[in-house]
Amino acid sequence: MQLTQLEIKGFKSFGDKITINFNEGVTAIVGPNGCGKSNVVDSIRWVLGEQSTRMLRSEKMDNVIFNGTKSRKAANLAEVSLTFDNTKNILPTDFSQVTLTRRLYRSGESEYRLNDVQCRLKDITDLFMDTGVGADSYSIIELRMIDEIINNKEGSRRNLFEEASGISKYKLRKKQTFSKLKDTEADLERVDDLLFEIEKNLKTLENQAKKAERYYRIRDQYKVLSIQLASFRIAGFSKTLAEIEEKEQKQRAEKTAIVAQIDTLEAALQQQKLESITREKNLAAQQKTTNEFVSKIRAYESEKRVKNEQLKHQQDKEARLKDELERDTNQHKHVQYNIKRLNEEKMQEDENLARITSSLADLKEAVEELRAEQAEARGELNELNSVSNRLQSQVYKTEKDIDILNIQQQALEQESLRNMEDASNKEVELSHFNQVVAELASRADTLKSEYDSAVDIETKLQEQIADTETQIKAITADIAADVRKLDAKQNEYNLTKSLVDNLEGFPESIRFLKKNTSWAKNITLFSDILFCKEEYRIAIENYLEPLMNYYVVNSYDEAIAAINLLGNSSKGRAQFFILDNFGGENEAADHKSLEVAAVPALSVIEVDERYKLLCVHLLKNVYLINDTTEQDINNAVLPDDVVLIGKSGKFNKSKFTMAGGSVGLFEGKRIGRAKNLDNLLKEIKQAEARINSLKNKNEELQSTLTALKAAGKAAEIRQKQVELNQLNTELVTVRTKQEQYQAFIENSLNRKQDIANRIAGIKNDIITLQPQLLDLKAQKQEQSELLLEKQQVFNELNEMLSVRSNAYNQENIRFHQQQNKVSGLVKDLEYRESQLENLDSRIMQNSSELEKVKALIKENLQHTENSDDSLLEMYEQKENLEKATQEAEREYYQWRGTITENENEVSNLRRKKDNSETIENELKDARNNLKIELNALKERLSVEFNVDITDLPEKEDTQTGSEADIRDKTEKMKRQLDDFGAINPMAVEAYNEMNERHTFIQAQKKDLAEAKASLLSTIQEIDDTAREKFMTAFTLVRENFIKVFRSLFNEEDSCDLILSDPDRPLESDIDIIARPKGKRPLSINQLSGGEKTLTATAILFSLYLLKPAPFCIFDEVDAPLDDTNIDKFNNIIRKFSKESQFIIISHNKRTIACTDIIYGVTMVEQGISRVVPVDLRQLAD
């Protein structure tokens, strides 16, 4: 299988459609950062079914759709197509070319297509399973995945081994089997739950059934006793009812006497209440007058209290205003004094400020002069420091150079000794490699010969298989075409036969005569006796159309019989040709001489001999012409009895008449139906025979194809190929070691002379540097003395500047303090002047307010004296009114007492009446209760025992025992029935049903247990098979890893692959041991980035040796490698490119130079990635 083409449109930065064609060998994809190289890898992952947006470097899936640029609109669709050449049938499909397409619309809809046929993601996953191709397989490797393999992130290392060993499908089957097992266990648990519930309920139902039987037995006994007790109770009810009716009559007489006394007292009481109402009105009027006067007094008192409060408030306000006036006057005097004092103090402080300002200016000038001198001295000092530091650096550098040269000399001397020892050891090992190379080359030649022989045989078989498949496809196509023709003929036959049998299109009279054949035998319709070629049918049928429904009979007698039959049955009319009357017709029709080319109609029809004279009669002067001669016909002169008709049936013409028009779609189908039906049947049989013959031939070819495929040597070739690859790999590894050792020995000899030359050069350099060092030290000493003198002068200037600066700073502080003091005096003076203005305004306002308050106080004092006299007079009137009210109240309540006594007497009589009515009602209730009990007893007996109460007295004589004995027995049985509680009347039936269900579910449980055991056995079988395949693959990969690792590093380097849990290989982690270049790292993470990359590369190619991937994509995997390791990386890719395609995305020039074809990814238009191909093989030629 080979990757042949990649088409991308609307995916990420590929706004326009681009096509990348892949050939055998190594293809490189290059370009600057950000141009979209990795988007090519993402597109391949995506079309292979990648669902993780993290792997596609996106936050959500619709981000992969082209989002537009400044000048381009966003795309609505992302589409990627990947095409494979499947000539080796690695993919389980009959197609030699497989195109996989994935589309994603911005609306969120997505679809997968396989050879442009819509399919599911599962179909694609199944198609590529165990082929080494997939979104997460080892065929696509990115730089970050190197770390994931090394660190075994999310089990990535184990996933690669499972993919290579081909156990992915077993894991999938195991997962599916576990799912079935889980469902089976769940069903088993549900069955156990059902059995538990059923067994629990089964015991309960059994107890309920037994309880129901005991209940019904006791209830029958209870019924007999209850009926006997009811007879006793009925007799007691009759006696009690008579006593109650007698007491009711006595209570009615007593109640009548009490009612008469109540009526007399109530009449007198009403008269007294009328008199009481009059007295009550008088009392109310007196109370109202008194209350109104009291309210008036209270209002007057309230007004007096308000005036007193106002007077008190005004007096308080007068005292407060006087105090404020006195306080403000004193403060006014004090403020005037402060203003005078502040003005004098301000004048004095202004003089002090002017004096301090003058002193500060003098000090500032002196300080600035000293700072200028200090800056000049600092510049000279810095220059001297710079010279001194430069000299010191030169001294240090020279000393360091001499030390380094001494160390290099020692190292070179040690390296020379070690190099000679290594060369001696390598010469011994080189002789061993020469022997191994000869042996491996001999074995490889033998195996290659066997492999070529098997390939030749397989090639011939494949050619035979291809020829056979071509023949099968051709025969299959012929069968399909013949089947379609057969279906068409069969449909036409069925339609024609239906028309013939049902006489569709014929009048009812014709169909009637067809069904009733008693009037004649072997009679046919005129339309059935004719047959002609397809090209003339429409013309002949249109001309003879009026005669198509005629029956052809032998004699008038047959025609008359048919006519009578139609007349008797009221089935319409029919027409007939009488054959007997055509006996004298001239069979030879004379051919008329016409001005146009014409064909006689009799020459194009086929008819039986017995009907020939009839046809001659009808068509002897009828001719067929081409429609193209229509113009000639119009101008031609026709004989009297000649008729011309067009072949298309468009028209017919005689000397005196002409008819024509459009031709219907179904015209030409009636004539010769019976003959046409026979012809169709013959054609159908011939088609069926031809199809059966082709099917037999196809089956023979299929058998031949099966035999050819069974005789194939593909498995043997693959095995030979694997063995040959392993042997070649081993041979390449040994030869590589041989060449490395030879190169090492030569390099060692060259290196010895080079080291001697370098040691001599180093000694010359040391001799040159020592005098320079002495001269630099002398210059450094002289410069240090000059720097010391200049530093003393600079320090003296610093001290003088410090003294002057302190004096200046102190004077500056005094200046700001004095300035703040003057400013404070100005603000204080402004505040005092504002305070004086406020005091003047407040004194004037309070004086005016005081005069107003004094006037109000005088007015309130005068009003208070007048109101006291009026209030004394009102108190005397109030006392007189209260005495009159008390007298009216006494008279009213005395009369009210008399009424109350009479009302009490009436109340006593009413109580007696109520007692009498209560007793009467109680008697009625007792009587009603007896009737209710009697009815209840009747209903209970009727409902509970289905017994009528009228039958009980008749049974009373047969009763045995007293009422008390019977009641005791009844109550005892009643208690027994109550103690039973609720019973289930359907318990027996339910128990039988549930017992049957229990037996059925027990059988189901047994079936589920057997299914579970079968699933567990299947899982164990899958585990055993997967374990065997995995361990076989792991052993081979481990051997391959050791070989590839040592080919990438050194033969002496140690490496290994170890299962952390050998007892559980399908779940065990895979540990990598790698110790390149004599290192002994505690963890593989301690290796350098390049060593990690080569280690991961060794793992990948050891997997390829076991199961080569059809193609492999490396996305900047070589980034951490140096030039030496890059060459190793490129060599191993070049070697494996014979078996697989390699697609490499890289920035490394060495890697790119080793590829066959380069695709450059650029962004000529901003935001739009484009691809430019370059074939390096053509350039090399």
Q: Give residue 988's identity as a one-letter amino acid code.
A: V
Q: Is 358 annotated as a binding residue?
A: no
Could you give the CA distance from residue 385 to residue 784 in angstroms, rounded to a whole number?
Answer: 9
Give yes or no for a contact between 647 and 535, defined as CB atoms under 8 angstroms apart.
Answer: yes
Q: Give residue 473's identity as a one-letter amino acid code.
A: K
Q: Give residue 183's identity as a one-letter amino acid code.
A: D
Could you give the CA distance from residue 736 to residue 730 in angstroms, rounded to a whole number?
Answer: 10
DSSP secondary structure code for residue 602 in this structure: G
Residue whose pair of structure tokens reads 């001599």 in the numeric block: 760
Q: Locate 6 and state its tokens.
A: 């990649």
How do the residues of the chain divide into helix, strand and coil, expressed in percent and rounded to 5? 75, 10, 20
Give yes or no for a contact between 101 and 79, defined as CB atoms under 8 angstroms apart.
Answer: yes
Question: Distance from CA of residue 877 to its chain's centroid?
Answer: 101
Q: How many CB atoms lie within 10 A of CB 452?
A: 11
Q: Locate 52 and state its tokens.
A: 């993780």
Q: How many CB atoms lie within 10 A of CB 274?
A: 8
Give yes or no for a contact between 1070 and 157, defined as CB atoms under 8 angstroms apart.
Answer: yes
Give yes or no for a contact between 1140 and 1108, defined as CB atoms under 8 angstroms apart.
Answer: yes
Q: Give residue 448's identity as a one-letter amino acid code.
A: K
Could you give the CA distance from residue 864 to residue 301 in angstroms, rounded to a whole number?
Answer: 11
List Cα–Cα distances, 207 to 199, 213, 363, 987, in angstroms.
Answer: 13, 10, 124, 9
Could you give the CA distance from residue 1176 to residue 1096 in angstroms, rounded to a whole number?
Answer: 29
Nearest one of 1150, 1123, 1156 to 1137, comparing CA atoms: 1156
Q: Is 34 annotated as a binding residue?
A: yes
Could you give the CA distance from residue 663 to residue 493 in angstroms, rounded to a whole number?
Answer: 23
List Cα–Cα distances, 904 to 581, 890, 897, 898, in angstroms.
Answer: 144, 21, 11, 10
Could you give the CA distance from residue 648 to residue 281 in angstroms, rounded to a whole number?
Answer: 132
Q: Locate 438 and state its tokens.
A: 């000869």
Q: Is 38 annotated as a binding residue?
A: yes
Could you give the CA distance from residue 425 to residue 729 in angstroms, rounded to a whole number?
Answer: 25
The phi, psi pair for 36, rounded to 5°, reads: 110, 20
b or e along 876-912 (b: 16 or more beta carbons within 10 Å of the residue's beta carbon)?
eeeeebeeebeebeeebeeeeeeeeeeeeebeebeeb
Question: Distance from CA of residue 941 to its chain's centroid?
Answer: 72
Q: Give residue 865's identity as a one-letter amino acid code.
A: E
Phi/psi region, residue 154 (left: phi>0; alpha: psi -120 to 50; beta: rest), is left
Q: Locate 625 and state its tokens.
A: 């012409």
Sign of CA dihedral 1113, 1118, 1123, 1126: negative
List Cα–Cα distances, 488 to 509, 670, 845, 1151, in angstroms.
Answer: 32, 19, 128, 65
Q: Is 984 annotated as a binding residue?
A: no
Q: Is 166 annotated as a binding residue?
A: no
Q: Is 672 annotated as a binding residue?
A: no
Q: Give residue 1160's identity as a one-letter amino acid code.
A: G
Question: Distance from CA of residue 799 to its chain's centroid?
Answer: 81
Give yes or no for a contact between 72 and 15, defined as CB atoms under 8 angstroms apart.
Answer: yes
Nearest one of 1117, 1077, 1116 to 1093, comparing CA atoms: 1117
Helices (H), 596-713: 612-619, 630-635, 673-710
The C-alpha R_g of the chain, in whole angstroms, comes to: 66
* Residue ranges of the binding site for ATP: 32-39
Task: Give the residue ranges of the annotated binding site.
Answer: 32-39
